């Protein structure tokens, strides 16, 4: 159980960081928010992939969805 949560946190951090890299400019997001954005992007990417393609979304769709979440967060917070 602990190893699953650590893996989830690390993959969320990786996907969130890649999503932040796709957005130009400075994002005032901390490490925890980046991790949560990555986890949310993975969830949203899986949901979108299931609805549109009838199979779970993959890594690229998760990164794109996390980039969209970062975009919305930076526009709403500024």
pLDDT for residue 77 is more than 90: no
Mean pLDDT of the chain: 90
**What DSSP string describes 21-77?**
HHS-S-----HHHHHHHHHHHHHHHHHHHHHHHSS---HHHHHHHHHHHHHHHHHHH
Average pLDDT score over residue span 9-26:
91
Average pLDDT rounded to a whole number, residues 53-73: 91
Asked if pLDDT for residue 78 goes beyond 80, the answer is no
pTM for this one? Answer: 0.88
């Amino acid at each position: 159980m602990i190893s699953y949560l650590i893996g989830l946190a690390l993959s969320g951090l990786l996907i969130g960081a890649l999503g932040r890299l796709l957005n130009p400019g400075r994002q005032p997001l901390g490490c925890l928010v980046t991790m949560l954005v990555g986890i949310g992007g993975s969830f949203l990417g899986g949901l979108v992939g299931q609805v549109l393609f009838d199979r779970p979304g993959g890594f690229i769709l998760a990164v794109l969805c996390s980039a969209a979440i970062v975009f919305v967060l930076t526009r709403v917070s500024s």
